[in-house]
Chain A
Amino acid sequence: MKTEEINEAIQETDAAIQEADSRESVTFGANRNKDFSKEPMCLSGRGVTRVFHTGKITTVAVDHVDFDFHRGELISIVGESGSGKTTLSKMLLGLLDPTEGEISYMGKPRDISTRAKKKEYWQGIQAIFQDPFSSYNVFHKIDSVLLDCINMRGDKNLSKEEKHALMTEACSFVNLKFAELTNKYPFELSGGQMQRLMIARIFLLKPTILLADEPTSMIDACSRATILDMLLKLRDETGMTVIFITHDIGLAYYISDSVYIMEHGKFVESGKPDKVMLEPEAPYTKRLISDVPKIHEPWDLSTVG
């Protein structure tokens, strides 16, 4: 590498560090002590169940769960891998039918029986998935991903320049430069950039509910905080309900207004994060909490080797 290139790289890193410093660090949710139970109901479920039959094996992925998500709330659903979080999120999104149980949307039983009704439902609920690498159609350019969102929100008839301006705005919200992305394919970006583009998509669509299924679990640690930051910023700006699915109970504690703990398809505990974290009742919750590494305590190496 030439010296100029090295210098350039160093400068870039410096800039990134400065940017990270200037950023407000992830803090407790702004509405942490707000009582959301007074807010209108957004999405609720009673006895929601999903059973999979694979050959002779029957898996109960989600087992009679009840939940009430209120408008503007940030809900975390925490559970180990395989506990049924993704299955539940697919049912919430209307991508998978529950085998049993009722889901209500905006206080009324959810009706997504026809394509038109589904389309309307999806105006209100959108998602960010776990794996950014499989979230994009590799044959479509980034422009078409964003244009699709603009069309979907009903701005099909805007002029080319207006559409361009919208896309630029969305990209700059997530610290991407649209001019550099145009005519590129998603797979030319890094995982973190792809996930940011997903947030730009949500920025354009502005749904009432955002379902984020472990959006940071496949991302390198450096990009994680940035992405969380952007999500929280978007939520503060739009006031949307966020259903945040994670296996990281510490993270859930920091960001959410309400926590649901999921074990083997069941909600074993739910409530305010302070209550769940500080006075856990279910043994599973206790185990999850004890698994969080405690940076401030000395490492206990007596059990090693």
Chain B
Amino acid sequence: MKNILKSCLHSPRFMTGFILFIILLGIALFYPLFHPGNPLQMIGQNSFVEPGTYLSLYDANTVNLNGKTSTFIMDDAAVNRADSNISEADRQTMLAYLAAAGVDVSHLDTSHENLDSLVTLWQENYDSSKKVEGYTTSAKKRDLRTLNSRLLAALNAGEQTLLTKNGDEEVRTAVANNAYVRSNQVANVINLPLGTDNFGRDMMKELAAAIGTSLIIGLIAGTIATILGLVIGLLSGYLGGIVDDILMFVCNVFTVIPGFVLLILIYYSVGQEARGVTTCAIVIGITSWVWTARSVRSQVISLRNRDHVNLSKLSGHSLVRIIVTDILPYIASYVVMAFILQVSSGILAEAQLSLLGLGPKTTTTPTLGLMMNWAMLYNAHTQGYWWAYFPVIAVIALTSFSLNLMNTGLDQVFNPTLRD
């Protein structure tokens, strides 16, 4: 036992998988501790808010009113401001105008790095009275004028004044263009590392909860499948004869009908109301024990003719004792590996089911599959809201990857011939 643990620690594959798994488990366990609250609470009024930290404008200004601002001298503050205020379309208009006015802009584009030179060129060359081909109509001219004033405002922003009401009295407060507030001075800050989904729910919170639920589904399904497969395989392999025939017939039935179809049929017939997370896990478990049973059976068949089993029989040991002490320990390592794979395939099965819209009906906890389903239903993938589906895919892939790595690592530990 000690040796096995030691060689597990020395197997790079097992350790990589294990660490990955622990990280995922850590997210599921600890993220909700630090960010408590219902993961399915709809905090956003708009759907698919981009990832980021959101400061309450109101509160940021309150900090300013209380005079708790800090002043920094930032040389590129003006450019940054312009950068965030001048849209891509404006930059393209500027480039087009400059080109029409005969300025060489071949070395410029609309990127952030080029903004400085673009603005300089614009300020040198823009003249509202100049006649530039293509910009002679009054509408075009007006557009250019507003663009120019927007640009000037962004670059040379002086003080802004804030008008607030204190009772009946109106108070004007100056806001300097180099006044800063610390984000944790602001009373209301919303951190959305992964933005929000279509319902305006915090994706990160949802994802952490979903990892937890999906792991639970995997564990329940894996445990059920492994126990069923183990018991059926042991009985079928050890007893042989008619018991074997009957159990193998059941196995064959389950093999002939594709497991996933069976899963859908059983799950669908359960009825929507009863389709909770646990039911989902149980149904996945009872449809996926077949291959465990088959391989346990074949291992038991080769074991039951070993002389140590015969000797145990001659010692008068009971069937249960022989199975538990003379057969089980020999296949224990195999069963552990099968269990890990079953957990992984349980998680994937839930994801597949939910993607088809047959996921667990839940109003309290999301699952990885449900999150995929929502993202798909609300076209996150076609509209480029990557944060609504990509992290979920990555987590599903990583979970299954880490479990499979652990499995191959264990294979090397238990099977010295596979070590390199």
Contact = CB atoms under 8 A, between A and B. Distances in A.
Interface of A: 90, 93, 95, 115, 118-119, 122-123, 125-127, 129-131, 134-140, 148-149, 152
B310 A127 contact: yes
Contacts of A134: 306-308
B307 A129 contact: yes
B36 interface: no
Contact of A137 (B313, B314, B318, B326): B326
B325 interface: yes
A135 B311 contact: yes
B158 interface: no
B306 A118 contact: no
A137 B311 CA distance: 9
Nearest to A135: B307
Interface in B275-334: 306-308, 310-316, 318, 325-326, 329-330
Given A137-B325, A137-B326, A93 B308 contact: no
B324 to A, nearest CB: 11
Contacts of A139: 325, 329-330
Contacts of B307: 129-131, 134-135
Contacts of A93: 310, 314
22 contacts: A90-B310, A119-B316, A122-B314, A123-B316, A126-B314, A127-B310, A127-B311, A127-B314, A129-B311, A134-B308, A135-B308, A135-B311, A136-B308, A136-B311, A137-B308, A137-B326, A137-B329, A139-B325, A139-B329, A139-B330, A140-B325, A152-B315
> Which among A90, A93, A137, A149 has the highest number of chain B CB atoms within 10 Å?
A137
Contacts, number: 47
A122 B326 contact: no
A43 to B, nearest CB: 15
Nearest to B326: A137
B262 to A, nearest CB: 30
B308 A122 contact: no
A135 B330 CA distance: 14
Contacts of A152: 315-316
Contacts of B310: 90, 93, 95, 127, 129
Nearest to A213: B307
A124 to B, nearest CB: 11
Contacts of B326: 137
A302 B325 CA distance: 57
Interface in B142-175: none
B311 A122 contact: no
